[in-house]
Structure 1
Amino acid sequence: MATPTLDKADSKPEAGFADSPYITVTLRIRRFNPEISAEAAWEDFQLEIDPKERVLDALHKIKWDQDGSLTFRRSCAHGICGSDAMRINGKNRLACKTLIKDINPEKPITVEAIKGLTVLKDLVVDMEPFFQAYRDVMPFLITKDTNEPTRERLQSAEDRERFDDTTKCILCAACTSSCPVFWNDGQYFGPAAIVNAHRFIFDSRDEAGEQRLEILNDKDGVWRCRTTFNCTDACPRGIEVTKAIQEVKRALITRRF
């Protein structure tokens, strides 16, 4: 039996298929290494990359192929862990969710550490103050029953929906480090801590709402918010952060939640 052969005309690539998808981009990264200098400085890197790839991919290419000393955090690379939050072209974003083609690759793409937290090296900041504020609002279910429950704590779909939005926080700090109040006063709890307090204040199964409200009633608490909406714009999960903060303020005034 004869082996079938492809007609040469049929084997031609589709129009445009042979064209390279790669473009040349420049990443302008704000570098800082305390072992070398007390001052940060911008450094440009050029690379070939598919515009459909992400800024995180570009950072990997630079670290692996050009400068192994480049330092940044990343883990899941799928917008879940929140560890690669950074300022890209002046806005807080997750590097793993930001496509090259969406941030005007014809001009240098600026990448720097998020603001309001001490930079340790390059794009890595000290997250401890951020996580301390998170711990201070007691982000866990609290009930008065000291005995282990014998059945699950039931909740209606309506009650669950009440705090559904604020369960989506991934603690990336994009909202908190976009807040002008936090930039100027590191004592402010910040949007992320308030969002995580909201998640339990409005949980019908929780019994420590009053206690959390008193924590946020502090001079560095919820009243420091100036409603600039920076936090809402910065959230990579689409949480209505400013709305949540306003609901906590209202609960403090009315004591209804």
Structure 2
Amino acid sequence: MFQKTKMHKVFKEAVDRPRYDEEGNCYFDGKLGIWPFVRQEPAKRRSDNKPRGTLISKTIKVARDTSRSYLISKVLDAIVKKWPREDWGKTIWVQQDNAPSHVLANDADFALAVAHTGLDIRIMNQPPNSPDMNVLDLGFFASLQTKAYLRNSKNIDELIKNVEKEYVEYDQNMVNRVFLTLQGCFLEVIKLGGGNGYKIPHMNKERLERLGMLPTRLSCDLQLYQSVMLSLSQ
């Protein structure tokens, strides 16, 4: 599961791989939530649309305390409410990039909050210098941002409303496509023995989706898997 702060550091977003049943019906779209980093304060001046004193949104600086607060009160809460029940017994990894404002993997407050959920939720950072290892940087957030910017946003409140609307309406099949690209990058990294000298793989996902042949996950060749396990054992 991936969480990210972008869009001029206004939003925190969390997304995971969609889940489908045997008939191909999506029962978990992977969209855990998107939350703006803002506070409400009264307007100091009146405008054509708002009288003086009207509550307006102001962006806030995202420090580690802020990240911790959002991670505990919003991301953890969303996981508890939305995570597929058949996966509750598995470890849930919250992957984040290496921004200084993000919570440390051994954060005591986060561990205490997780203990109250009854789930095994842990933090991990993505490998350094590896944007292809974060599904949000592989296209999800860029496309969401593009869709939101096509709507007219006169102020931060309208931007938040438009982004949230686009997030809710974002097609789960598009989320699946981006996760397939991520898995393809994983396989390329494995083939190179951990290197990053590869091109992002393409598999004509839109065409396969139209034909009803698009997979929900990629498989690893047995020989490749065995070679990796051999390397790790040495």
Provide TM-score, normalisation by structure 1.
0.27
Q: Which has the higher helix share?
A: 2
TM-score by length of 2: 0.28
